[in-house]
Structures are given as C-alpha cells and as structure tokens.
C-alpha cells in the first residue's frame, strides 16, 4: 500500500493499535479480547490483494475486516463510548482510565471504507495516527472539515474528558493521506488552539518539495468572529520522481514537520476508471463528482459475462453514492466537478437536449459529461464492473456496463453491455413538420422540426391488396403485418448521426433513447402501384399513408396522436 512508502514505519502500526485498543472493550460476549493490531481489509470497492483465514466479528470472530465487522463491534460496545454522526460515520471514545496516552483519545470512523481520523487528548487531529484505506474514505472524512461546529463540539468534549487545556501555541502537523501516481494528498492539521481561534482560517500555504517552493493563496469568505474554525484539511500536491523528497508546508509562515515522500503507484480505482473512460472516448471528459446509485439489478442481464462475486460486490458498493473528490487530480483528460458546478458551468439548461446542444457549441474539444458508478470487483481481484452514463458526446446519450479484466498491472475492457433501463424516458412532442420519406414495401417516416423525433409506419404491402383506392387497416388486428412507432433521440440526428436514421445503406449509427409503440389506431394506405413480388425489385412507386387515432405506449406510459399523414412518398426501393 502506498502509505507504507511515505510514512514513518511506526505510523501505520500506531493507527492500527489505536483501533485495536479502542475496540477491545466491544468484543462480543464470550469472544477473546483483541490485544494486537486489528487487520484491515480493502473496502468493498477495492479488489482484495490477499485472502485471510482470520474470522471477522460479524461471523463470530474478533477481527475487523469488513464494515459489517465494525457494526458488530459497535453493537456490543458501551453506548456511552460511541457517538453516531450519521449512518456511515461514528466517533469511538477512549476511556482515560484504560488507554495509554500515546494511543489517542478518539477515532472518527467511516464504516463503509474502514477509514479513520484520529484525535488526541486535546481534541486535535493527529495525521500520523489517521488511516485512509481508500480515496473514497478520505473524501468522506473530508466532509468533516466542512463542519467546524461538529469538530468544535468534539474538541470540547475531548478536553473535558481528559482535563486538557490548549497551549494556544500553534503546531502544524503534516502527513500523507493517499497517493495516486504523481498525486499525493496530504492531511494538514493545526493543533494547540481553541476551536474559535481564527489565526489559521483560510491560511496561506508555502510548500517546500525537495528544491521547489509552491505558494498558495486561498480565496475565502470573511470569517464571523467567535464562530468555530476548521483546523484540518486535505491538500493535493504533485510529487514526481523515483527518489524520496522532503516535503514541508508552512501555514501563515508557521512550518510543519517534514515528511519524506516519493511518487506513488497509480491506484487500482484510477486504473479501472481510466480504462473505462478511454473505451468510451479518447477526448477529454467532464466527470460528475459523485457516483450514481440505485441502478436496477443487472444480474440477469450480465450473468453470462460477469462473475457472481463481481456482481455482488458491485451491488453492495453502489447502495449509496460516493464522492469522487481527488480522483484524476491534475489530469489533462478527465476533469471532476460536483454536479452543482456542472449544472452551473456546463449543462446550462434543464432540458437535456438543449443543454447538450449548447455544451457541444461551447466546448467543442470535450467529449461529453460522464457519470460513474462505484467499481465492483471479483473475489480474486481480476475482474471489474462499472456503469458509465455518457451524456452530450458526439452520439446518443449512452448508458453501459463495462466489464474489465486485469492484465498484469493494467486493466482492459472486455465486454460492453447496454444498460437495459438506465436512461430516462423521453416523451414525444408529436409535432411532425418534417418532410415525409420512405422505402421498401412499405416503410414511411416523418420527423419533427428539430429532427430529434420520428414517427414511422410499416405495412407489409405484399399481404394486402393495395391499390390506387384507399385501404384502411386496424393496427391491433394486424400486429404481424403492420406497425407504428415513435423514435425519440437525445438530440438532432444530424448532430448525433450525421445522416437520416432510416432508409440508408449503412443502417442507423445510433439508437433512439426512447421507442414508443402503437397499441391501437388505424392506417390508411393509397398506392400508385402494387407491391413487388420480391423485395427491392421493380420500379419505385408512390404511396400516401394516413395514421389516425393512434395510442402509443412505453411501459406504463401512453401518448395519443390524433393523426399524421405521409403524403406522396416514394417507396418500393431499397437503399444500397
């Protein structure tokens, strides 16, 4: 794990010992006490690197390997030692009578990712004793930095519990939290101050990285005097090169400790996402800063191509959305922004089609906006599954499940499956002012003005005795010989496909986002000649088709079209 490369050797063990000591008192009745370091396994959305035979609390053992193990211990702990922040984050308080001074006073635990922030007896964050098992865990605990009132309450509680008083002499603490290739995320904490001390509110930063110096001037809103101030934050920096480099930061001129850092390996999460996005497009992308959740269960759709363990891990990992904060930091290809920022700066209309039209006009160099799921991994860590929703690209709105396989250190897409129900239904406007066209015996279609919506009718002319006189057919009475549909695309087909989607010799180059099928109605056909005995033989002829009283359905939804005429259309020919 990258943390071992960049922390002093004792730091990880210290954090693990803290977890072990904190949880000793909450072992289930009859279970042996935990007296050594508690092993931590990768969270649900990280592939396991090794298999352990130890038994977790949730199945009757004493280990803490999974979120279920953590909840098991919490359920058996003295409730006075546990404070719930939310359903995923809890504070475990130490007993001053039973814990060594160096082990700390409390940990703030993010259960789904098995990550933790450690607090000392003064209520200050201890970066060296804090552990982040994934980027997602770090991003989740970063939310606490945005809640200074909560942290101020915990700090006061620690000081009362341990009878401590801050020195009012600032101490800047620095440690590495996470590495992802050349990006290193540092955890910076200001210790020794009261919660309302604003000397380090929005501080200037001076970084010394090897022989280089980086100055950062923050731009913040004015602080209200007497209110709590956040005294810790995460900060990304670029660390490149094979050798260790000394890193130090000074906040408002007060220097931190020095840590030795070398460039880390690209995280598995990033490697999978990069491979998935390269498969979607080679152009730069805007990435939503939160994963999507609540998808339909894809098990039946993917059962033949995806391992059962991969599907199970995917479903468990996507029960709730997760922040993608710090993912792709410094990348020139993928730009992660919160959804609010995307709505403000990129997708400026509440109408998805209009928003994409403007996006393509304003940002012609970008390949669209993507929303990612969390990644599901197989039991042996060699297969991955991710859902990708691609909007405002050069083609249709696209929702796919990508299955990837690990090839050494790299990941490669091996299967792409269109998500069955991932895209929202587009309701037709049913204003068909475009020119009527057609081909075959007999297929006709007509578009709306924007050419994003098409109504189309098919009649098997060889079955019916069509003539120059009108012939009226009931669609419901002839389901195998007639049909009518409305195809709704995410945008103009000229922009999406570059050509008409029907009656061309290359076939459709994109699929409609929503297809509505007529369940009732009549079609009246007048033809200038009889249908050809064999398809695509003989001379073209003219046909006029009138669709009336048509009810179209998509799932449980229906729309009604009083009438539309396809007048004097040349049919009887085939493209190619």
State the DSSP string of 260-279: EE---PPPHHHHHHHHHHHH
How far is CA 399 from each of CA 201, 410, 439, 460, rounded to the nearest angstrom? 43, 24, 31, 34
Q: What pLDDT sits at residue 508?
A: 42
Instruction: Classify burial at 560, counting beta carbons within 10 Å of its beta carbon; exposed 0-12, middle 13-18, buried 19 or more.
Output: exposed
Looking at per-residue confidence, does 81 or 214 come out higher?
214
- Decide: 300 and 210 in contact? Cβ < 8 Å: no
Q: What pLDDT sits at residue 205?
A: 95
Q: What pLDDT sits at residue 173?
A: 97
Kindly indicate the confidence band of residue 509, based on its pLDDT and cuts at 50, 70 and 90. Answer: very low
Looking at per-residue confidence, does 103 or 453 come out higher?
453
Looking at per-residue confidence, does 561 or 74 come out higher?
561
Q: Report the C-alpha gap between 190 and 207 in whole angstroms.
A: 16
- Residue 401: phi and psi, rounded to 5, are -100, 125
How far is CA 158 from each of CA 16, 133, 152, rounded to the nearest angstrom? 21, 25, 10
Looking at per-residue confidence, does 465 or 216 come out higher?
216
Q: What is the DSSP letter of 68?
A: H
Q: What pLDDT sits at residue 15?
A: 35
| Helices vs. strands in the chain: H and E counts, helices first | 11, 27
Output the DSSP codes for 160-174. Answer: HHHT----S--EEEE
* Residues whose CB is less than 8 angstroms from the CB of residue 7 and which lie 6 or more positions away in sequence, other chains included: 128, 175, 176, 259
Looking at per-residue confidence, does 116 or 422 come out higher?
116
Coil vs helix vs strand at 81: helix
How much is the average pLDDT of 63-70? 80
Q: What pLDDT sits at residue 463?
A: 85
- Decide: 377 and 45 in contact? Cβ < 8 Å: yes
pLDDT (tens digit, 9 = 90+) per residue, 7-60? 222 232 333 333 443 333 333 322 222 222 233 333 344 444 444 456 778 788
Residues 304-316 as b or e (16 or more Cβ within 10 Å = b): eebbeebbebbbe
pLDDT (tens digit, 9 = 90+) per residue, 403-450? 999 988 899 999 999 886 545 678 999 999 988 999 888 999 999 988
pLDDT (tens digit, 9 = 90+) per residue, 246-268? 999 999 999 999 999 999 999 99
Q: Report the C-alpha gap between 110 and 323 in whole angstroms.
A: 13
How much is the average pLDDT of 118-144? 93
Q: What pLDDT sits at residue 461?
A: 84
Q: How many residues does the chain have?
A: 576
């Amino acid at each position: 794990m990258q943390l071992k490369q960049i922390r002093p050797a004792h730091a990880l063990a210290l954090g693990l010992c803290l977890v072990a000591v904190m949880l000793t008192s909450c072992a289930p009745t009859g279970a042996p006490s935990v007296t050594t370091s508690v092993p931590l396994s990768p969270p649900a959305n990280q592939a396991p690197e090794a298999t352990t035979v130890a038994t977790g609390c949730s199945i009757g053992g004493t280990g803490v390997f999974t979120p279920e193990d953590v909840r098991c211990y919490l359920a058996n702990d003295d409730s006075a030692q546990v404070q719930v922040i939310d359903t995923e984050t809890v504070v475990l308080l130490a007993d001053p009578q039973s814990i060594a001074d160096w082990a700390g006073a409390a940990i703030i635990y993010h259960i789904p990712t098995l990550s933790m922030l450690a607090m000392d007896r003064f209520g200050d964050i201890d970066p060296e004793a804090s552990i982040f098992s994934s980027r997602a865990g770090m991003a989740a605990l970063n939310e606490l930095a945005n809640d200074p009132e909560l942290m101020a309450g915990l700090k006061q509680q620690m000081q009362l519990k341990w009878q401590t008083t801050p020195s009012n002499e600032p101490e800047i603490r620095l440690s590495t939290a996470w590495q992802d290739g050349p990006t290193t995320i540092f955890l910076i904490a200001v210790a020794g101050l009261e919660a309302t001390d604003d000397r380090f509110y929005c501080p200037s930063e001076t970084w010394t990285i090897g022989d280089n110096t980086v100055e950062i001037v923050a731009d913040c809103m004015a602080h209200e005097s007497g209110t709590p101030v956040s005294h810790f934050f995460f900060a990304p920096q670029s660390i490149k090169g094979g050798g260790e480099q000394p890193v130090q930061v000074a906040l408002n001129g007060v220097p931190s400790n020095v840590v030795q850092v070398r460039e880390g390996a690209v995280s598995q999460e990033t490697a999978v996402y990069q491979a998935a996005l390269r498969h979607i497009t080679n152009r730069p992308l805007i990435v939503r800063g939160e994963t999507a959740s609540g998808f339909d269960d894809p098990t039946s759709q993917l059962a033949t191509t995806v391992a059962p363990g991969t599907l199970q891990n995917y479903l468990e990992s996507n029960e709730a959305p997760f922040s993608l904060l710090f993912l792709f930091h410094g990348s020139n290809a993928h730009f992660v922004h919160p959804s609010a920022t995307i709505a403000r700066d990129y997708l400026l209309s509440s109408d998805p089609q209009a928003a994409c039209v403007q996006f393509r006009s304003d940002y012609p160099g970008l390949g669209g906006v993507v929303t990612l799921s969390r990644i599901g991994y197989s039991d042996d860590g060699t297969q991955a599954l991710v859902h990708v929703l691609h909007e405002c690209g050069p083609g249709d709105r696209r929702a796919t499940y990508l299955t990837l396989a690990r090839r050494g250190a790299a990941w490669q897409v091996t299967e792409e499956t269109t998500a069955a129900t991932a895209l929202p239904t587009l309701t037709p406007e049913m204003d068909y002012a475009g020119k009527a066209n057609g081909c075959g015996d007999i297929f006709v279609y007509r578009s709306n003005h924007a050419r994003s919506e098409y109504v189309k009718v098919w009649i098997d002319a060889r079955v019916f005795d069509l003539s120059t006189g009108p012939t009226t057919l009931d669609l419901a009475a002839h389901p195998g010989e007639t049909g009518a549909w409305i195809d709704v695309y995410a945008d103009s087909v000229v922009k999406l496909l570059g050509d008409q989607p029907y009656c061309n010799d290359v076939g459709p180059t994109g699929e409609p986002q929503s297809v509505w099928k007529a369940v009732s109605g009549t079609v009246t056909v007048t033809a200038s000649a009889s249908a050809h005995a064999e398809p695509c033989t003989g001379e073209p002829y003219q046909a006029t088709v009138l669709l009336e009283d048509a009810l179209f359905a998509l799932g449980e939804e229906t729309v009604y079209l009083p009438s539309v005429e396809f007048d004097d259309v040349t049919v009887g020919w085939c493209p190619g």
